[in-house]
Chains A and B, each alone.
Chain A
Amino acid sequence: MKKELIELQINGRSYELAIEPSKLLLDTLRQDLQLTGSKRGCDDSSCGACTVLEDGIPMLSCTMLAASCEGQEITTIEGVSEHGSLAAIQKAYGDWGGAQCGFCTPGFIMTVKHLLAENPEPTEDEIRNALSGNLCRCTGYSQMYQAIKAAIDAEQKGSAAVSAAR
């Protein structure tokens, strides 16, 4: 298949790429841009390890054509760290055992980012429902809930500190 030139907005940067129109966003990220944080865990969109945000909405990059994402802002796990340091949710996942083997972790963090953007103080049931599209085989999910709560606390303390400083 002949390649075509497309332009993608990823993690706040613009990339011009020559790719086959049939190429999936996941493969484009991993192979053409070496953004290998998004993982492929299945063949049939059942695991969620490839989750990215498209204009803030979590999407499975294994089911989207890269060419269809022109004009949208894509955020991958590589774009979650802020100013070169871990975001609160990333640190909390490490501290509370939310990540064991870590393969599903990028997908979960993208899903959680969206959850917290929509609903800054979710109940445990809301967290469970939000995470149900991502599979993890190590943790049994329990320590992720603790991590998410810790991240919310850290964010609140952080913003309280910022407003106090003002």
Chain B
Amino acid sequence: MTKDFSIIGKRIAMVDAAGKTSGAGKYTDDLSLPGMLVGKILHSPYPHARMKRIDTTRAEKLDGVVAVATGKDAPNTYGILPVGHDERALAVDKVRYVGDNVACVAALDEATADRALELIDVEYELLPAYFDPEKAMKAETDLIHDNKPHNIEKDYHHVFGDPEKGFAEADHVAEARFIANEVTHAAMEPHSTLAALEIDSQTGKPGRLTVWSSTQVPYYLQHKLSLVLEMPMSQIRVIKPLVGGGFGGKSEVIPLEIIAAIAARKTRAPVKITYTREEVFWAHRGRPRTIIDLKTGVKNDGRITAVKARVVQDGGAYCSYGVVTILYSGALLGALYDIPNIQYDGYRVLTNKPACGAMRGHGTVNVRFAFESQLDELAAKLEVDPAVIRRRNLLQPPCVTINGLRVQSYGLPECIDRVVERSGWKHRKGKLTRGRGLGIACSHYVSGAANSIIRSDMPHSTVNIKIDRDGGVVVYTGAAEIGQGSDTMTAQIAAEVLGCSLSRVKVVAADTDLTPIDIGSYSSRVTFMAGNATLRAAEEVKKQIALAAAKKMNCAVEELVFRDDGVFNSKSINVGAGVPPVQAPGGDERGRSSPHRSQDQASVSGRVEGQILRGSLQQQRNEEGPKDFMTFEEAVVAAIDFHGALAGTGSYAPPPEARGGKFKGAGVGPSPAYSYSAQVAEVTVDEDTGEVIVHKVWAAHDCGRALNPVSVEGQIIGSVWMGMGQALTEEMVWKDGLLMNPGLLEYRSPSSVESPEVEPIIVESIDPEGPFGAKECSEGSLAATIPAIANAIYDAVGIRLREAPFTPERVLAALRAKKNAKLLDLTEGIDPTAPERFREHGGALWFKGKGPERHASDPARRTEQA
């Protein structure tokens, strides 16, 4: 397919790669301004308490402290969702989790700020706290938010088709409870914000606020800052420098972003706040612990007749994206398979823990784990190949699912076929040595939400393109590059449409003063939406160039072809069949133009000879009469001469047909296009230690069209790898609302030695509405990995694990239960209140005074006795 394109579909390095590999690229914490202060935040030590009194005078008197901000400085509430404005940057009356934000010190240096935090006196009145969602739902008094009875943030009850009839028709029904524990993004860059209040050069008053921040959503940040600080949006400029990974953790306004601005306003000086890694864990916004009661009915041939899911999410202390998360969990039961009857009951519950929010695969991952595990169970019961049962439940697109999701391009069948083929599924499944197994699972995800968070008719993405006489193409986009390659995607699309080399294109991104609105990098929307906006803007500019070039070349606009840095008359030159005249399309095998070539161009176009010479060169060429070919720069100059300027705008809003049904909650789930994934995992289970090793994952992903295969493969591998982390090791462990493992090692983000080989397989279904047919590729693959591993464990040793992550303890417990053996309690005699994961280590140091006796077989105890 890719031979029709010169830049799309080529393996290229990201346009910002050199800045990252050379250390020259600037992330927010790398920035500094003259007179900059350091901000440090005082956090609540209690999970649920009323603030009786706060006294900052002692802290303010400390030498080097410039100001101390408290809730009174900006008491307005905010939240990412219009229905969830329940947060304050700094607490006013109540704290709701350990780590809630109480006050902020701005000081000359970090050590002084840290000392000042200890001098702030806060008197708390402790309140009963809720840590378990099912208990929190029963609460009548001491609610976390007074306007949320029973601590339920939101509940939804959807019925599509006739589930009872569906279950009555089923030949087999499976029913079980699945639990997926809480995980977090743990992006490598801790959140950081630098805020500065500029003095208005005209009035001399402090006027404009400029905020540099590690954010996926610059425009939402600008909007929330305006709400909380009561400043007009036009007086706030948000700039997004390089961002060191997001995964959803930076897809909403994080308290430090507003606190830094409050402190900058109070001190009248630039203030930078950077979270410590521990604070990043408290800021959280990760994937909630989810309890899923799932029931699936199938016919003897494997056809699904009905699905019923009751989902409870432990959402933490604030709404965050919660209402959307609980809706995605239900909505995305649809659009993967053809399910005629669905019942969904979803509860988003508040607890006294850091708020959960959006994380890669938002809302779908945990329910997909349950569903794909149960489907595997039913396949085993029916003695149908698990790959075959999935093929028997395919959708017949184009179609609209029972819950109102429009599906057009659908590469799932090919994904299943490819992983079955590549993994040797047919001859290896069930035939591996004892303890080794293969498992299959599928998943999907939206390419952007069809309805934006703040409902309006505004386009979701707008892109401006400006070309000047130098032949440089500048693309202005609000899309936020967070490492996923959005700037590269933008540059590629612009260059492909305009037929110019990639090195001509400069992307100016995510600066609210310079770039038109784009709602941000979340729900995998950027390639589809900002990509389409770029495509339209470039088409508009191309039209203007073509008009002028056709005049010069004395031909019709339709006869022009833009390619390889030139404009050709397709009638006289057989473009694409051979080497165009004047200059050969340069570039190495990785698709980038060679340095020699750009020098040639420079001398042809007059960039080296200078502006005066260019004029005479043009005159000379004009005298030569009509031509079959113009260089890109000649065409640009002709267009500017003709039109006076060369600029174009394009925007994208999802079509009304893609925006879903009319029922309550129908707005979440619909997308202009869905990506599809099928995966096979190969694992070994050690039956003595309970350890699971993933050897290899084959992951086929339908991304519509791979605009840059290197990036697409990187996103697929990264998703699968993050799914594997959630499947095997990652878990946030809590004790009385206190996080027990707020560090990257204790959280157990996998290192290179624990990471399997992932074989990414690109499937291209060419979506009718995507830019060049492209869809998302960054999230859809994550959800399939967890059930693929769970199903492989079943294939290896015959146990069904219904609680993730599949730690050695859980594997061993399941293995012993299968043999009807007594559960081994390695933690006998150890602090019974310690979290399960820590008991085996003694747990002593973690809980002051409650230290347990060491287990008889613990070598440390033997040493003590000796």
Contacts and interface: CB of A to CB of B under 8 A. Distances in A.
A138 B30 contact: no
Q: Chain A contact residues: over half helix, strand or loop, or mixed? A: loop
Contacts of B189: 39, 41, 101, 103
B22 A86 contact: yes
Contacts of B247: 137
Interface string B781-819: 000000000000000000000000000000000000000
A100 B277 contact: no
B187 interface: yes
Contacts of A91: 18, 21
Nearest to B723: A140
Interface size class of chain B, counting residues whose CB lies under 8 Å from the partner chain: 35 or more
B22 A99 contact: no
Contact of A143 (B27, B29, B485, B717): B717
- Residue in B244, B247, B743, B755 with the greatest tally of chain A CB atoms within 10 Å: B244
Contacts of A80: 22-23
A141 to B, nearest CB: 4
B691 interface: no
Interface stretch (B116-124, B251-259, B707-715, B820-828): B707-715
Contact of B30 (A30, A97, A98, A127): A30
A36 B23 contact: yes
A78 B714 contact: no
A100 B243 contact: no
Contacts of A103: 27, 187-189, 242, 244-245, 483
Contacts of B484: 100
A141 B750 CA distance: 10
Contacts of A76: 23
Interface stretch (A53-61, A63-71, A104-112, A155-163): A104-112
Nearest to A98: B21
B714 A100 contact: yes
Given A101-B245, A103-B245, A47 B188 contact: yes
Interface centre among A43, A98, A102 (most CB of B within 10 A): A102
Given A77-B22, A93-B21, A101-B187, A139 B717 contact: yes
B13 A94 contact: yes
A38 interface: yes
B18 A101 contact: no
Interface string B582-602: 000000001000000000000
A104 B14 CA distance: 16
A46 B745 CA distance: 6
Given A101-B187, A106-B23, A140 B753 contact: no
B278 interface: yes
Contacts of B30: 30, 36
B276 interface: yes
Nearest to A90: B21
A123 interface: no
A134 B753 CA distance: 11
A142 interface: yes
B8 interface: no
A105 B21 contact: yes
Nearest to A81: B22
Given A101-B483, A102-B242, A129 B753 contact: yes
Interface in B707-750: 710-711, 713-714, 717-718, 720-722, 743-745, 749
B147 interface: no
Contacts of A31: 32
Given A39-B189, A99-B17, A102-B20, A138 B714 contact: yes
Interface in A124-166: 127-129, 131-144
Contacts of A10: none
A37 interface: yes
A38 B718 contact: no
Contact of A140 (B21, B482, B718): B718
Nearest to A44: B743
B21 A131 contact: no
A30 to B, nearest CB: 7
Max chain B CB contacts within 10 Å: which of A39, A78, A109? Answer: A39
Given A109-B21, A138-B714, A138-B718, A41 B190 contact: yes
B243 A101 contact: yes
Contacts of A42: 277, 743-744
State the 5 A-B residue pairs at the shortest beta-carbon distance, nearest first: A37-B23, A101-B483, A102-B20, A140-B721, A103-B244
Interface of B: 13-14, 16-27, 29-30, 32, 185-190, 242-247, 274, 276-278, 482-485, 590, 710-711, 713-714, 717-718, 720-722, 743-745, 749, 751-753, 755, 757-758
5 contacts: A40-B29, A49-B188, A80-B22, A94-B17, A101-B243
Given A90-B22, A93-B21, 12 more contacts: A44-B744, A47-B277, A94-B20, A97-B711, A97-B714, A100-B485, A101-B187, A106-B23, A131-B752, A137-B187, A142-B755, A143-B713
